[in-house]
């Protein structure tokens, strides 16, 4: 199976989502899953997030180069894809107290997560709590939500690569 994977968390280490995505595809490779990183070409610096937002949200879902699309880093497509699409939404921030405003950047991120949740064929999340939050906040049917906790290597003191 050929999986198109958003390179947002793969092309440079941005924390736990990078560890998650790299470990996931390392372990799926022996099962015949072949990831292909999707990354905008020739962009960096302050333009990088905008390039990913456009490519993840609108461009890549229209391609049929892969058997499946996977967005491992909370945000992704904003339109239905031509192939099945999976989004991993790790967690949602706590709901702000009434009257407290979030920054424009936070509101934009939240809307992008909501858009991805609306069009994904399946959503993977790390806990029952996160699944409940996603279901309640974005009205996602339970059958599209799949709880798969993140894992550790056999040596519990070392995170999976």
CATH of the domain at 110: 3.40.50.2000
pLDDT score, position 37: 92
Q: Is 137 among the domain residues?
A: yes
pLDDT band at 157 (very low <50, low <70, confident <90, very high): very low
Number of domains in the chain: 1
pLDDT score, position 99: 65
| Residue 16, number of CB atoms within 10 A of its CB | 14
CA angle 59-8-137, nearest 5°? 80
Q: Is 158 among the domain residues?
A: no
pLDDT band at 156 (very low <50, low <70, confident <90, very high): very low
> What's the CA gap between 143 and 123, in Å, rounded?
9
Q: Is 125 among the domain residues?
A: yes
Q: Is 58 among the domain residues?
A: yes
Report whether pLDDT(87) > 60.
Answer: yes
Q: Is 124 among the domain residues?
A: yes
| pLDDT tens digits, 30-80 | 999 999 999 988 888 888 888 988 999 999 898 889 999 999 999 999 999
Q: What is the largest CA-CA distance in the chain?
A: 51
pLDDT score, position 48: 86
Q: Is 84 among the domain residues?
A: yes
**Which residues constitute the domain of residue 50?**
2-147
Encoded tokens for 117:
């949740």
pLDDT score, position 76: 92
Q: Is 156 among the domain residues?
A: no
pLDDT score, position 96: 63
Q: Is 22 among the domain residues?
A: yes
pLDDT band at 98 (very low <50, low <70, confident <90, very high): low
| pLDDT tens digits, 15-32 | 888 888 998 999 999 999
Scored b (16 or more CB within 10 A) or e, 22-60 reads: bbbbeeeeeeebebeebbbeeeeeeeeeebbbebbbeeb
pLDDT score, position 41: 86
How far apart, in Å, are the Cα atoms of 128 and each of 21, 32, 149? 20, 29, 9
The rounded percent of the chain whose pLDDT value lies above 70 is 88
């Amino acid at each position: 199976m050929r999986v198109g994977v958003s390179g947002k968390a793969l092309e440079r280490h941005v924390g736990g989502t990078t560890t998650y995505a790299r470990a996931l595809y390392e372990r799926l490779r022996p099962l015949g899953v072949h990831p292909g990183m999707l990354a905008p070409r020739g962009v960096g610096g302050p333009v990088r997030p905008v390039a990913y937002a456009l490519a993840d949200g609108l461009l890549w879902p229209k391609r049929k180069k892969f058997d499946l699309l996977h967005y491992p880093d909370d945000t992704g497509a904003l339109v239905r894809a031509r192939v099945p699409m999976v989004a991993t939404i790790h967690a949602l921030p706590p709901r702000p107290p009434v009257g407290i405003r979030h920054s424009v950047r936070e509101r934009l991120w939240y809307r992008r997560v909501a858009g991805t949740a609306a069009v994904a064929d399946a959503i993977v999340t790390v806990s029952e709590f996160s699944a409940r939050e996603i279901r309640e906040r974005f009205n996602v049917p339970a059958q599209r939500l799949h709880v798969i906790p993140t894992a550790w290597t056999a040596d519990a003191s070392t995170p999976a690569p």
